[in-house]
């Protein structure tokens, strides 16, 4: 039913001696639930042992009071997962525990390596042994192998062997160590907890529940070490340039997160304003597709002077991974999730604002729903450029053939979804709305211009389609079921 790309994972690390670190990690993971709903886990260290609990399910389903009270330590690492690599099985849940020369460690990874096949073959030839099938285990085993070099050198040795998107947090008996890929594809940010301690997370929305404030982002290629000596940042490997995922600003990140010093909510407001400039239309009301279309719809409304109305009400109890395998039920999907407010819609010319169109089936259903409810016209406005290429850096997308804009023109998509007009925000306006200078983003899914070569990742996807766990594939393979 969902026609959105999906996050891969959310990660969090907490260093706070004297505090209930498992509970702090749990609260932060809860705030990162949007980055993965398949599995969750927390590992804690008391300086001697690493203790871990992880299972499939939402954060609130995986942990309860009894489990949290058994996770005692001064530092913790947590993970919430949506699998793109390695399938949805329990063995691929994180954090990943490993034995090293300096004791047990636990590793959480957000992203996707693009040299996994070659790397695993090399590591197996060198004597490494793997128990799961995901790329994150290769990172964990590499770090464990080099752990006796000390945190910075172990991270550096690991980073030199891996290629792709990674924001990694490692828990050892003494330290929290975090490192980010040289392009900074996936976000990673550090905060200071009020009353003592530090937190590192995929997004700063994880800070509010633990009363932490932002210190700064982990830079591309950078390593952060937190231990009894305090916090230090060191460049792990050289960063040729930054290529932060532009889609984090458009859709993935939570609106209350700050990335590259920009509040996500504000960037989406500006995208909506730009959209009103690029694709103005005579209309009676601006209607957001809930929830993700709201900030941009507010921006469009403000700029155009067209009033904002809530024309669609979203059911709160349909989970993002809700999937109906039957084609008839699939057609019903949008009507199960969204209810039209006919009083707000009937007889009106509407501007319908959303952040992206992937396959276009869902958007077609929403336009139909509004027209069936009496809308006179529906003008669709999208706050991203057309998606023409899949992502190989940790975002789950359908194949190129399934992407609406890969094989069709905007006019053809407009006809297919039954809209009276269709406008996508241009790439320059999208990046301008984010704020920082252009050239700092990965825009590969909009341009096909990949900042890292993806030939090996493409071959792997072609050979092992089960590695893509998109809605369609998941249903076909029986991997995903109705959750909740």
Catalytic residues: 9
In whole angstroms, the minimum distance from the beta carbon of 355 to ligand SF4 comes to: 12
User: What Rg do the C-alpha atoms of the chain give, in angstroms?
Assistant: 22
Could you tell me which stretch among 20-28, 212-220, 279-287, 441-449 binds ligand SF4 (CB under 6 A)?
Answer: 441-449
Report the residue number, 169 or 452, with the smaller CB distance to ligand SF4: 452
Report the residue number, 100 or 443, with the smaller CB distance to ligand SF4: 443
Report the residue number, 433 or 442, with the smaller CB distance to ligand SF4: 442
CA angle, 241 as apex, 164 and 431 as ends, to 5°?
Answer: 95
In whole angstroms, the minimum distance from the beta carbon of 224 to ligand SF4 comes to: 22
Considering only residues 33 to 62 of the shown chain, the ones binding ligand SF4 according to CB under 6 A are none
CA 278 – CA 269 distance, rounded (Å)? 14
Could you tell me which stretch among 173-181, 342-350, 389-397, 398-406 binds ligand SF4 (CB under 6 A)?
Answer: 389-397
Candidate list 15, 247, 249, 424; residue touching ligand SF4; CB under 6 A: 247
> Does the footprint of ligand SF4 cover residue 144 (CB under 6 A)?
no
Report the residue number, 6 or 177, with the smaller CB distance to ligand SF4: 6
> Does the footprint of ligand SF4 cover residue 445 (CB under 6 A)?
yes
List of long-range contacts for 447-456, beta carbons under 8 Å, 24+ apart = 447/388, 447/389, 448/388, 448/389, 450/389, 450/392, 451/183, 451/185, 451/241, 451/243, 452/114, 452/163, 452/164, 452/183, 452/393, 453/114, 454/114, 454/392, 456/114, 456/115, 456/116, 456/117, 456/118
In whole angstroms, the minimum distance from the beta carbon of 405 to ligand SF4 comes to: 13
Q: 397 to each of 55, 135, 416, how far by Cα in Å?
A: 24, 18, 20
Report the residue number, 176 or 445, with the smaller CB distance to ligand SF4: 445
> Does the footprint of ligand SF4 cover residue 405 (CB under 6 A)?
no
Could you tell me which stretch among 214-222, 298-306, 363-371, 442-450 binds ligand SF4 (CB under 6 A)?
Answer: 442-450
> Does the footprint of ligand SF4 cover residue 259 (CB under 6 A)?
no
> Does the footprint of ligand SF4 cover residue 246 (CB under 6 A)?
yes
CA 474 to chain CA centroid, nearest Å: 18
In whole angstroms, the minimum distance from the beta carbon of 395 to ligand SF4 comes to: 4
CA 28 – CA 209 distance, rounded (Å)? 6
Report the residue number, 8 or 420, with the smaller CB distance to ligand SF4: 8
> Does the footprint of ligand SF4 cover residue 140 (CB under 6 A)?
no
Report the residue number, 185 or 226, with the smaller CB distance to ligand SF4: 185
Candidate list 16, 59, 162, 245; residue touching ligand SF4; CB under 6 A: 245
In whole angstroms, the minimum distance from the beta carbon of 433 to ligand SF4 comes to: 15
Closest CA relative to residue 378, chosen from 312, 314, 463, 466? 312
Q: 29 to each of 21, 326, 484, how far by Cα in Å?
A: 12, 33, 19
Report the residue number, 246 or 308, with the smaller CB distance to ligand SF4: 246
First to last CA, the chain: 15
> Does the footprint of ligand SF4 cover residue 391 (CB under 6 A)?
yes
Residues binding ligand SF4: number (CB under 6 A): 11
Candidate list 442, 452, 454, 469; residue touching ligand SF4; CB under 6 A: 442
In whole angstroms, the minimum distance from the beta carbon of 363 to ligand SF4 comes to: 18
How many other CB atoms sit within 10 Å of the CB of residue 55? 13
In this structure, are strands 39-45 and 50-56 parallel, antiparallel, or unpaired?
antiparallel
Instruction: Output the six-digit token pair for 27.
Output: 């609260």
CA angle, 232 as apex, 228 and 234 as ends, to 5°?
Answer: 140
Could you tell me which stretch among 9-17, 338-346, 390-398, 454-462 binds ligand SF4 (CB under 6 A)?
Answer: 390-398
Candidate list 43, 178, 444, 457; residue touching ligand SF4; CB under 6 A: 444
Could you tell me which stretch among 116-124, 244-252, 356-364, 452-460 binds ligand SF4 (CB under 6 A)?
Answer: 244-252
Contact criterion met (CB below 8 Å) for 144 and 98:
yes
Closest CA relative to residue 103, chosen from 143, 60, 55? 143
Binding mask 159-198 for ligand SF4 (x = CB under 6 A): --------------------------x-------------
Could you tell me which stretch among 56-64, 198-206, 245-253, 353-361 binds ligand SF4 (CB under 6 A)?
Answer: 245-253
The residues pairing with 382 across neighbouring beta strands, listed in sequence order, are 354, 424
Report the residue number, 7 or 54, with the smaller CB distance to ligand SF4: 7
In this structure, are strands 189-193 and 198-201 parallel, antiparallel, or unpaired?
antiparallel
Q: Which residues bind ligand SF4 (CB under 6 A)?
A: 185, 245-247, 391, 393, 395, 442-445
């Amino acid at each position: 039913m969902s026609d959105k790309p999906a996050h891969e994972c959310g990660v969090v690390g907490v260093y706070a001696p004297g505090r209930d670190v498992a509970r702090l990690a749990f609260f932060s993971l809860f705030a990162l639930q949007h980055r993965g709903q398949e599995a969750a886990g927390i590992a804690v260290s008391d300086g001697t042992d690493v203790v871990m609990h992880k299972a499939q399910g939402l954060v609130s389903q995986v942990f309860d009071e009894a489990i949290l009270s058994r996770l005692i330590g001064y530092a913790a690492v947590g993970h919430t997962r949506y699998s793109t690599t390695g399938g949805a099985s329990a063995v691929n849940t994180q954090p990943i525990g490993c034995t090293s020369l300096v004791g047990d460690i636990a590793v959480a990874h957000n992203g996707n390596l693009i040299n996994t096949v070659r790397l695993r073959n090399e590591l197996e030839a060198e004597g490494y042994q793997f128990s799961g099938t995901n790329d994150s285990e290769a990172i964990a085993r590499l770090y464990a192998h080099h752990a006796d070099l000390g945190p910075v050198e172990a991270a550096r040795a690991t980073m030199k062997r891996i290629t792709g998107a990674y924001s990694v947090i490692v828990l050892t008996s003494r330290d929290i160590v975090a490192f980010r890929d040289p392009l900074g594809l996936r976000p990673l940010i550090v905060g200071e907890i009020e009353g003592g301690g530090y937190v590192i997370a995929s997004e700063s929305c994880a800070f509010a529940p633990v009363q932490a404030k932002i210190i700064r982002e982990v830079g591309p290629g950078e390593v952060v070490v937190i231990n009894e000596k305090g916090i230090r940042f060191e460049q792990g490997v050289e960063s040729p340039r930054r290529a932060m995922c532009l889609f984090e600003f458009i859709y993935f990140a939570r609106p209350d997160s700050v990335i590259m010093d920009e509040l996500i909510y504000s960037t989406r407001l500006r995208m909506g304003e730009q959209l009103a400039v690029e694709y103005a239309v005579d209309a009676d009301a601006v209607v957001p597709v809930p929830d993700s279309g709201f900030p941009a719809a507010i921006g469009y409304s403000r700029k155009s002077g067209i009033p904002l109305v809530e024309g669609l009400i979203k059911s709160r109890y349909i989970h993002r991974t809700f999937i109906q395998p039957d084609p008839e039920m699939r057609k019903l999907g949008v009507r199960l999730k969204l209810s039209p407010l006919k009083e707000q819609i009937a007889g009106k010319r509407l501007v319908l604002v959303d952040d992206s169109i992937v396959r276009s089936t869902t958007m077609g259903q929403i336009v139909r729903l509004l027209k069936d409810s009496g809308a006179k016209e529906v003008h669709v406005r999208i706050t991203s450029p057309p998606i023409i290429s899949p992502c190989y850096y940790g975002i789950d997308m359908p194949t190129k053939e399934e992407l609406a804009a890969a094989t069709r023109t905007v006019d053809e998509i407009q006809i297919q979804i039954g809209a009276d007009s269709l406008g996508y925000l241009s790439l320059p306006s999208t990046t301008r709305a984010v704020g920082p200078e252009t050239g700092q983003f990965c825009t590969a899914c909009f341009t096909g211009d990949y900042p890292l070569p993806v030939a090996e990742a493409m071959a792997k996807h072609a050979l092992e389609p089960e590695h893509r766990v998109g809605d369609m594939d998941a249903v076909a393979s029986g991997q995903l079921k109705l959750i909740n």
